[in-house]
Chain A
Amino acid sequence: MQDLNELKEVISQIKEEITGGIGSLENSKAVYEFKKNFLDSKNGKISALMKEMRNIPNEQKANFGKGVNELKAWAAEKFDEIDAALKAKEATARYEKEKIDVTMPAVKTKKGNLHPVTQIRNELIDIFASMGFDVFEGSEIETDYYNFTALNTPADHPARDMQDTFYLSPEFLLRTQTSAGQIHVMEAKKPPIKILSPGKVFRSDDDATHSPMFTQMEGLVVDKGITLCDLQGMLNTLVQKIFGADTTTRFRPSYFPFTEPSVEVDVSCFECKGKGCRLCKGTGWIEVLGAGVVNRKVLANCDINPDEYSGFAFGIGIERLAMLKYGINNIKMLYESDLRVLEQINDN
């Protein structure tokens, strides 16, 4: 190359060549390959122009260099433009190719549920643990003494007829009530006592609402000055947490050998809010548990001075709560490990 004029010609030739060439480029790789023809530092046509510098008269060298650099910048911009455009197109094409049907079923992480009884049990424990209750699980096999006699239910007591007991020997039996645990706790520990005693209990009963095994949760408080009003306050807290803040309790007289006074506790029907419906059989109330002030004889049986201390106890059937809460009508469903049942009672 001799001078600037010749350069101009070459520049316009190269520009034409680039402008004409990029139109047919289809992808980023082709752009790269095409670009190499011009800008490759060894073989690129534009890079080659720089080498012509030595043939150019000195006074033109500055302008020559400027011209080549401008061409270089122009070409680079062209290539960048086309590269960006093609990349955008490729990206779009890739996304389009990966289009899916979002309404197709999810692939789920398999997760099981805790048993409905465990769920209710945990819920109760959470409520009471926060109020300072320990959890004591007694044994399923008990002696006659702990299940009956120590609970003020001696051998000739008609209350024994209230519960059909499974016997394992003249002395050992399957506990009929978690109250049996009360005595173990009071023998081992002196007041203040606040315990919750959940567990399986057994009665020789078998129909749609009775199962020979079910789960009870016993609560016991022994301290100074504990009253029937305290029992109601505690139970109100309980039912409000389980059935909703507008739930209340109603006490009515009942009889258990180990409490005096004894009460049946009804909750206002959470389904109809007390108006009367099928669940509450039109009464507005649902019977949920038995309770009372601990009988002085029971305290004395455990070497706790009944003149100094008093207490209350209550016992809840957990299956009954579960059945009420989830609307399960047959207690047996809870013991069959039927996945169709267990899947429905989600433990979140």
Chain B
Amino acid sequence: MLVPISWLRDYVDIDIDIDELERRLFASGFEVEEKYQVGKDISGVVVGEVLTCEAIPDTHLHVCMVNVGGAEPLQICCGADNVCAGGKFPVALPGAQVYMTAKDHVTVEGVMTIKKGKLRGYESNGMLCSGTELGVNEDMYPGAGYNGLLVLPADAVVGADVKPLLGLDDYIFDVSITANRPDCQSIYGIAREVAAILDKPVKEPALDYTESGITKDGFTVTVDAPDLCPRYIAHYVTDVKIEQSPAWMRRRLALVGVNSISNIVDITNYILYELGQPMHAFDGEFLEGNAINVRRAADGEKIVTLDEKEFTLNHNNLVICDGVKPVALAGIMGGLNSEIRETTNSVMFEAAKFARDNIRKSSRALGQSSDSSQRYAKGVDEYATVMAMKRALHLIEELGAGRVSSTHVEANSGNSLEPRVMKASVKAVNGVLGIEVPTDEIVRIMKALNFNPSIDGDELTIYVPAYREDMESYPDISEEVIRMYGFDKLVPTLMPTAKITAGGLNTRQKAELKLKRAMTSTGAYEGVHYSFFSPADLDLLGFAADAPERNAIRILNPINEDLSLMRTTLMPQMIHAASRNMKRGRMEGRVFELGNKFIPKSLPLTEYPDEKPTLAMVAWGSGENFYTLKGMVDTVADTFGLTFEYVPTTKPFLHPYQTAEVVCGGEVVGFLGKVTYEIMKAEDMREAAYVAEIDLTLLEKYYDKVTKFAPLPKYDEESRDLALVMDKAVSCGQVEKLIKDACAYVSNVTLFDVYEGAQIGLDKKSMAFSVKFTPKDEEFSADAVDAFVKKILKKLKNELQIDLRS
């Protein structure tokens, strides 16, 4: 919120410098996000008096001798049409900084530094300035809007800095207000805080006015939706003269970035910034039926707002109606049909409290907002509502803008504006903090914050002003105390009263960390990707219309379509990771991710979906192949002391003959394979990529598996190498299984060579296995192992026509 310091000074004496004020506000919970001087870009400009002014022949220029308070006058050339001897104007001395304007002298194009120079052969030792060149417009200083020199008053002191004269030395704070303090969304609200910080009284703005006795007989206000409008105040002003507002008011509005429109409209805007209460002024002439009715709109009801936009409303929108028709979209914007115009001669002021949620929702739903609606959405208190109406009527009188009638009608739901009594134990207040703030300090702070405190033993009684709706219980008092007393007075402790607890990771968390570390040991880097992905990713991977991956949860309000679905697989992001890295010149690498995929139980969601921790990996580059990735997958098995089996399968995004299911304990726990050439092309991947995904929810049951020590064999193990010849279609896994099944003493089967070639026939291949036999209860007899081998070969021959290679 913008706070001009000159305006703030109306309500509180500030006897510390600007930096200290900023620091004190910050320490008490009001961060000054930005602090700037109004004339921050202007320097070295003084009041000058033109002593002589002579036209330079054949030009529009004049050469002037200007008294700037020094020993000698300066010679300055000037092109403005209102330069004249005897006049006082701002003079930018050499080295001064002012705004640079375009040829039109109106458009600011930047900041420039004034140098001595020559114009048409005449020395010029400075510049006489316009309002624009000093960043001052008509609202900020009367006459500054003229496209020529800014005329200074006759009593301006020659040689004096112009900044105080033009108000350019004023500072503006942009103060950040937390959501619990809507009462500080105004300059007066901030003034109350500053007064408390400085332990000074706050000066209330003038609220007095005199009613004329004129009445509007029979005028009524009814509120049909008191839940959305707890208080509505209407007051008529007659004999209105629409004029320009006085300079002081226009200047203040300009400082907070509001354009002056007319006295009546300006009063409402002024109060919005001064007291934080939105107000609206209706042209009384266009209000029909001698009544105001606040109600929910009828479905399909229409209104045209001040900015000439038409809205079709429904029962969620609140409207202000006269006796006949809607005249305002409550809290958001007035209707065009009752707008203040130049000919307006009677005005009905509205000051109301509307429910913040309703205003926010209507404003969003209709796509219409205003300073008022934004203010209402933060929360307005009825204390300010009542005060604002008085202030508006006072300003009517002060500005001579009309006569305050005696027609004042107020409808309210009975909320009290009186301070609420709140009692708390001093011990409890200090108990939240952990330090003993002296009771007299607590009382001093409560008093400064206008809580009117008293103490009886341990009992603190305070009176909470109606504008402090945030004060609910004693921790709120603790907060008020510590923010004024100083957080630096806390003494850090380490929970001396707390019970000792055992902490740390649970089994699953430990297992997941162990798994991540195992993955990095394969040379893979951990990646983290968004939990959402794009519908286009599902198309890229070629999932069928009824594939389970397509059953994804949609975000109702995504940032964009590419981030609109909760991911049902981590595969697209793994493929993109490989592709992105290759585009950036990393032609080989490994990445893994351990993150959730989201599987809905029903759509739209009616219960929590399954969030499945999933391990995904990708390996790309010329050094990778199916088996290197399989090594990474086997690392998962090794991490938990498991054995994975691999069964050929297909996936739409994987090579039809280089894809396998990962099976553990008879359950499919994942898959791995080579990314298809089609996806490689679409994703501009120059090297092959291999991906795998493991559903960790299926491995969780093994996380706490305790590794049991296997006793070392008592007798010598034996080993035999078997070179076998078989049909090409026979898989390594099939042979391994047969060998193991054939003999109970086989403890390990390891493939060590594969051969294909003419020697053994073109439809055949040879695979050589090393088979280990481990004795159980007694030593193998001399020919026992030979007998085992015979048995194995017989089984291989019988079942798959496998022969020993000759």
Q: Are A293 and B432 in contact (CB under 8 A)?
A: yes
A226 CB contact (under 8 Å) in B482, B498, B558 = B498
B521 at the interface (CB under 8 A from A): yes
Interface residues of A in 40-92 (CB under 8 A from B): none
Q: Are B530 and A347 in contact (CB under 8 A)?
A: no
Task: Tell me the nearest residue of chain A to B517, going by C-beta.
Answer: A114
Q: Are A250 and B529 in contact (CB under 8 A)?
A: no
Also in contact, A204 and B559, with CB within 8 A (given A228-B432, A233-B493):
yes
B717 at the interface (CB under 8 A from A): no
Q: Are B523 and A111 in contact (CB under 8 A)?
A: yes
Q: Are B503 and A229 in contact (CB under 8 A)?
A: no
By secondary structure, the A interface counts as: mixed
Interface residues of B in 450-505 (CB under 8 A from A): 473, 475-476, 478-479, 482-483, 487-488, 490-505
A297 to B25, CA, bound (A): 28
Q: How far is the CB of B310 from chain A (nearest CB, A)?
A: 27
Query: B155-163, B579-587, B655-663: which one contacts chain A?
Result: B579-587
A179 to B26, CA, bound (A): 26
Q: Mark A328-348, 1 if CB is under 8 A from B, else 0.
A: 000000111111101100010
**CB neighbours of A23 from chain B (8 A):** none
Query: A11-19, A29-37, A152-160: which one contacts chain B?
Result: A152-160
A217 at the interface (CB under 8 A from B): no
Q: How far is the CB of A78 from chain B (nearest CB, A)?
A: 47
A271 at the interface (CB under 8 A from B): no
Q: Are B506 and A134 in contact (CB under 8 A)?
A: yes
Most buried by A among B182, B487, B573: B487
A253 to B527, CA, bound (A): 37
B530 CB contact (under 8 Å) in A110, A194, A335 = A335
A253 to B432, CA, bound (A): 14
Give the size of the chain A interface in residues (CB under 8 angstroms): 85
Q: Are A139 and B608 in contact (CB under 8 A)?
A: yes
A274 at the interface (CB under 8 A from B): no
Interface residues of B in 355-408 (CB under 8 A from A): 355-358, 360, 377-379
Interface residues of B in 185-239 (CB under 8 A from A): none
Most buried by B among A168, A206, A213, A342: A168
**CB neighbours of A166 from chain B (8 A):** 555-558
**CB neighbours of B358 from chain A (8 A):** 156
Interface residues of A in 222-268 (CB under 8 A from B): 223-230, 232-234, 236-237, 250-255, 257, 260-263
Q: Are A156 and B434 in contact (CB under 8 A)?
A: no
Also in contact, A338 and B520, with CB within 8 A (given A113-B525, A167-B555):
no
Q: Are B580 and A336 in contact (CB under 8 A)?
A: yes
Interface residues of A in 165-218 (CB under 8 A from B): 166-169, 171-172, 174, 192, 194, 200, 202, 204, 206, 212-213, 215
Q: Are A339 and B581 in contact (CB under 8 A)?
A: yes
Q: How far is the CB of B524 from chain A (nearest CB, A)?
A: 4
**CB neighbours of A339 from chain B (8 A):** 525, 581, 586, 589, 591
A228 to B482, CA, bound (A): 10
Query: B108-116, B173-181, B250-258: which one contacts chain A?
Result: B173-181
**CB neighbours of B598 from chain A (8 A):** 140-141
A102 at the interface (CB under 8 A from B): no
**CB neighbours of A141 from chain B (8 A):** 553, 566, 598, 605, 608-609, 611
A156 to B359, CA, bound (A): 10
Interface residues of B in 680-734 (CB under 8 A from A): none
Q: Are A250 and B487 in contact (CB under 8 A)?
A: yes
Q: Are B530 and A131 in contact (CB under 8 A)?
A: no
B432 CB contact (under 8 Å) in A169, A261, A337 = A261
B538 at the interface (CB under 8 A from A): no
Also in contact, A112 and B432, with CB within 8 A (given A129-B504, A233-B495):
no
A310 to B248, CA, bound (A): 52
Q: How far is the CB of A347 from chain B (nearest CB, A)?
A: 7
Q: Mark B580-613, 1 if CB is under 8 A from A, else 0.
A: 1100101001111100101000001110110100
Q: Mark B331-371, 1 if CB is under 8 A from A, else 0.
A: 00000000000000000000000011110100000000000
A347 to B517, CA, bound (A): 10
B431 at the interface (CB under 8 A from A): yes
**CB neighbours of A263 from chain B (8 A):** 487
A212 to B555, CA, bound (A): 12
A132 at the interface (CB under 8 A from B): yes
A158 CB contact (under 8 Å) in B179, B496, B522, B577 = B179
A279 to B27, CA, bound (A): 21
A149 at the interface (CB under 8 A from B): no
Q: How far is the CB of A252 from chain B (nearest CB, A)?
A: 6
B74 at the interface (CB under 8 A from A): no
How many B residues are at the interface, by size bracket? 35 or more
Also in contact, A156 and B432, with CB within 8 A (given A125-B505, A223-B499, A335-B528):
no
Task: Tell me the nearest residue of chain A to B359, going by C-beta.
Answer: A156
A295 at the interface (CB under 8 A from B): yes
Q: Are B611 and A227 in contact (CB under 8 A)?
A: no
A117 at the interface (CB under 8 A from B): yes
A206 to B532, CA, bound (A): 14
B536 at the interface (CB under 8 A from A): no
A174 to B531, CA, bound (A): 10
**CB neighbours of B592 from chain A (8 A):** 112
Q: Are A261 and B482 in contact (CB under 8 A)?
A: yes
B119 at the interface (CB under 8 A from A): no
Q: How far is the CB of A165 from chain B (nearest CB, A)?
A: 8
B509 at the interface (CB under 8 A from A): yes
A251 to B549, CA, bound (A): 47
Most buried by A among B435, B524, B528, B605: B528
Q: Are A252 and B26 in contact (CB under 8 A)?
A: yes
Q: Are B509 and A115 in contact (CB under 8 A)?
A: no
**CB neighbours of A161 from chain B (8 A):** 179, 360, 377
Q: How far is the CB of A61 from chain B (nearest CB, A)?
A: 55
A232 CB contact (under 8 Å) in B31, B478, B490 = B490
B668 at the interface (CB under 8 A from A): no
B513 at the interface (CB under 8 A from A): yes
B542 at the interface (CB under 8 A from A): no
Also in contact, A171 and B605, with CB within 8 A (given A161-B377, A229-B490):
yes
A84 to B800, CA, bound (A): 62
Q: Are B581 and A338 in contact (CB under 8 A)?
A: yes
Q: How far is the CB of A339 from chain B (nearest CB, A)?
A: 5
Q: Are B493 and A295 in contact (CB under 8 A)?
A: no
Q: Are A113 and B520 in contact (CB under 8 A)?
A: yes
Also in contact, A140 and B611, with CB within 8 A (given A168-B556, A337-B581):
yes
Also in contact, A114 and B432, with CB within 8 A (given A158-B182, A204-B557):
no
**CB neighbours of B491 from chain A (8 A):** 229
Q: Are A213 and B531 in contact (CB under 8 A)?
A: yes
Q: How far is the CB of A284 from chain B (nearest CB, A)?
A: 13
Q: Are B493 and A293 in contact (CB under 8 A)?
A: no
A265 to B540, CA, bound (A): 45
**CB neighbours of B483 from chain A (8 A):** 253, 261
Most buried by B among A117, A156, A262, A334: A156
Task: Tell me the nearest residue of chain A to B178, going by C-beta.
Answer: A255
Task: Tell me the nearest residue of chain B to A227, going by C-beta.
Answer: B434
Also in contact, A233 and B492, with CB within 8 A (given A155-B357, A206-B559):
yes
Most buried by A among B26, B29, B495, B590: B495
B580 CB contact (under 8 Å) in A202, A250, A337 = A337
A-B contact pairs, 28 of them (CB 8 A): A110-B523, A112-B523, A112-B526, A112-B592, A115-B526, A131-B503, A132-B500, A135-B509, A140-B598, A158-B360, A162-B179, A167-B557, A194-B498, A194-B501, A204-B559, A223-B497, A223-B499, A225-B497, A226-B495, A228-B490, A230-B434, A232-B492, A250-B487, A253-B487, A261-B479, A263-B487, A295-B475, A340-B586
4 closest A-B pairs by CB = A227-B434, A156-B357, A229-B434, A110-B523
Contacts A132-B500, A166-B555, A229-B493 aside, 19 further interface pairs with beta carbons under 8 A come to A112-B525, A118-B528, A135-B503, A140-B531, A141-B611, A167-B557, A169-B606, A212-B530, A213-B532, A227-B431, A229-B433, A229-B491, A237-B494, A253-B482, A255-B179, A295-B475, A336-B580, A337-B525, A347-B520
